[in-house]
Amino acid sequence: MRDAIAYWGPDGGAFSDAHAAIGCRVSHDEPAHDAVLRLAKGEIVVATARLDNRDELTPLFGDVDDRALVAAAYERWREDACTRLYGDWSFAAWDARARRLFVARDHFGNTALYHHRSGDAFAFASSRKALFALSYVPRRLNELRLAQHLAFWPTDGAATLHEDVFRLPPGHHLVVTASGTRLTRYWHPEDLPELRLPNDAAYVEAFLARYDAAVRARIRTSRRIATTLSSGLDSGSVTALAARAAAPLRLTAFTSVPRFAEIAQLLPRVVVDEWRLAHVVAERCGIEDHRPLRAERVTTLDAFRRSLFLHDEPEFAAGNLHWIIDLLAESQRADAGVLLTGQLGNGGVSWSGDQQHALRSFLRGRWLDTYRALREFQRNRRTSFARAVSAQLARPLRARAYSFAFRRGWSEGILARHDVMHPAFARRMRIGDRMRAAGYDPLQSGVLDVRAQRLRVLLPDINPIGAIWHESGAGYGLEVVDPTADVRLLEFCLAIPDEQFARGDRDRWLIRRAMEGILPPEVQWNTRRGSQGADLALRLRADAPEIDAAMNALASSPAVREYLDLDGMQRRWTLVRDGAPAAALAVAPMFARTLLFALFLADCA
């Protein structure tokens, strides 16, 4: 198992007895020494950990490394240790006398942890590669999860695309004994009490203190710090706070820019090149090492194959993989130990405010409130009133009508966007019937309270994003960390009133105020959003010979023919390769996603 994930870092040692074997690899940023810890009562603990609250734990347990703090916390508080450890961590504790294994994963799932049980054997690892090194762990396709993936149906976060191989969901721990397993959820963000502070300034002060602490906790490295930097508030604020905290300055900022400049003419309403505003931030922060990422050395298929190697199943954002793989490779070349992202800002630090205020007011017959909400949306997004009506009322009401018909079995039409599945496979899996039986609305048309809206953003598929970055970083000798996913920062943002995020014609109001004097005003108050993978269709066209060859090879794969609609996939590819620019841009993301799944199926099934 350790050999299978040798690229994760130096060997940290192993323990074995008559009933168990446990080993680990340590971070590339840590010395290679024995990281298998023995507690006073003889229990064995292994962990991967980067803790945010060392200042709270070291007075209790001494100035030791984060793995040792995790072990000491478990020794004192047992299962309750999970609620007292903040940061990116997962750990396992083996009690040989009781023959009891305890496995836990951090609140928000910023580490990866998989497991398999077969009879009396139980195995766990940070990567499925380690599990597949065991002869009794099957590499068998999970057909139901495949259908759910293809239909954009998030589930409980436990199932993977491999039968009988499961993720430990974020915010959960698992107890394994000879008599069975017990899975327990220990984090409940939906139940947070509301937090009220005296005035607007107090919210800004408390927010900035937590945000600054979240960034500082994530830049502990003896090597260079890399950061993603777009023209937006999330990566911009992370980068600016990191620049203030890092002394001496050791930051390299990377900005994804189009490889094909002509995309700007094809998408005049979209910010496709974020370099100018990103560079304004870099200059303001004193970052001299600011580099563009054009992913010129990474083809689309290169990126897809590398991603499948790292994760053993398809990622969600296929259209962004070229610049993500380039980002990781360039960070490694820069000898970075840490890569900072701002991936989860939208539901937390940069929440825009109630997204369904206009719809809720309309359904309640509050016409003046509806009009005001539409005007605010129009001003925030710099769009026309007609577009505001379409986005906030017409499309949601149409979705409610379609969902009503779908729930009653009158129409399967809303599943048409999921026609990447082979029709016979879709019929066999009865995906529409399964959705109705589970009470799942594929158009997400329900009117939600504000916290539920935000949790929908923060916890899609019980948040796979952190685990994806953990596995990606391991492939490049990096620790990929996201201050916007800091648990205590997110809990603060979820607990405060929504009026702190939207006020009058200002959206994302809290972070805009907090960045006063930190970000340049043209970024602080910018309302135009960028698109980092906008030239995907042009990249695919440039790779046409390689993709044509891949399509021919995929057509001979029995698994691809069984599960995917190859004719539909070929039609999309023809549009991308030969069609008019507008048609190519429209279908490129879905084609890329289907191609990624086809490569996975051809390899694993």
Token pair 């070291």: residue: 58
pLDDT for the residue 460: 60
Specify the DSSP class assigned to residue 29: T
- Specify the amino acid at residue 80: D
* Model-wide pTM > 0.75: yes
Question: Diameter of the chain by CA atoms?
Answer: 72
Q: Check whether 230 has a pLDDT greater than 70.
A: yes
Alpha-carbon Rg for the chain in angstroms: 24
| Angstrom distance (rounded) from CA 185 to CA 218 | 26
| Angstrom distance (rounded) from CA 68 to CA 62 | 9
Token pair 């390769």: residue: 577
- Specify the amino acid at residue 481: V
The mean pLDDT of 575-587, rounded to a whole number, is 94
Q: pLDDT confidence of 533, banded at 50, 70, 90? A: confident
Q: Going edge to edge, which strands form the sheet with 479-481?
A: 289-293, 251-256, 224-228, 336-340, 479-481
Determine contact, residues 229/239, Cβ cutoff 8 Å.
yes
- Which residues on neighbouring strands pair with residue 188, listed in sequence order? none
Q: Check whether 323 has a pLDDT greater than 70.
A: yes
pLDDT for the residue 441: 87
Higher pLDDT pick, 376 / 129: 129
Q: Check whether 519 has a pLDDT greater than 70.
A: yes
User: Could you report the per-residue pLDDT of 304-319, keeping only the tens digit for each?
Assistant: 999 999 999 999 889 9
pLDDT for the residue 453: 86
Given 3.60.20.10, 3.40.1390.10, 3.40.50.150, 3.30.420.40, which CATH number is that of 3-187? 3.60.20.10
| Angstrom distance (rounded) from CA 537 to CA 577 | 8
29-33, 49-53, 295-299, 434-438, range with the lowest pLDDT:
29-33
| 370 Cβ contact list (under 8 Å, min separation 6) | 358, 361, 362, 393
CB atoms < 10 A from the CB of 410, how many?
10
- The rounded mean pLDDT for the chain is 92
| Angstrom distance (rounded) from CA 489 to CA 213 | 9
The structural domains of the chain, with segments of one domain joined by +, span 3-187, 191-350+455-524, 357-447, 536-604
Crossing angle of the two packed helices 581-604 and 566-578, in degrees rounded to 10: 140
Q: pLDDT confidence of 32, banded at 50, 70, 90? A: low
CATH superfamily placement of domain 191-350+455-524: HUPs (3.40.50.620)
Could you tell me the CA-to-CA distances from 463 to 104, 159, 218, 469 in Å, in that order?
16, 13, 20, 11
Q: Check whether 416 has a pLDDT greater than 60.
A: no
Instruction: Name the percent of the chain lying above pLDDT 90.
Output: 73
Q: Which two tokens stand for residue 486?
A: 């800091």
| 264 Cβ contact list (under 8 Å, min separation 6) | 258, 272, 273
Q: pLDDT confidence of 415, banded at 50, 70, 90? A: low
pLDDT for the residue 414: 61
Q: How far is CA 560 from the centre of its chain?
A: 27
| Angstrom distance (rounded) from CA 582 to CA 54 | 52
Q: Going edge to edge, which strands form the sheet with 100-105?
A: 37-38, 44-51, 87-95, 100-105, 172-177, 180-185
Q: Provide the terminal-to-terminal Cα distance of the chain, rounded to the nearest Å.
A: 22
Compute the 3-state secondary structure of the chain and give helix, strand, coil in percent, each to the nearest 5.
50, 15, 35
Q: Check whether 484 has a pLDDT greater than 70.
A: yes
Q: Check whether 56 has a pLDDT greater than 90.
A: yes
Smallest CA-to-CA distance from 87 within 487, 496, 505 is with 487
pLDDT for the residue 153: 86
Count CA within 13 A, CB hemisphere, residue 10: 10
- Which residues on neighbouring strands pair with residue 15, listed in sequence order? 22
pLDDT for the residue 461: 60
- Specify the amino acid at residue 495: A
Q: Where are the beta strands (DSSP E) in 287-369?
A: 289-293, 336-340
Determine contact, residues 289/558, Cβ cutoff 8 Å.
no
Q: pLDDT confidence of 443, banded at 50, 70, 90? A: confident
| Angstrom distance (rounded) from CA 234 to CA 342 | 5
The mean pLDDT of 198-218, rounded to a whole number, is 96
Q: Each residue of 368-396: b (16+ CB within 10 Å) or e?
A: eebeebbebbbbbbeeeeeebbebbbeeb
Q: Check whether 342 has a pLDDT greater than 90.
A: yes
Smallest CA-to-CA distance from 316 within 584, 533, 549, 575 is with 533
Q: Check whether 157 has a pLDDT greater than 90.
A: no
Q: pLDDT confidence of 403, banded at 50, 70, 90? A: confident
Token pair 């994530």: residue: 218
| Angstrom distance (rounded) from CA 592 to CA 469 | 20
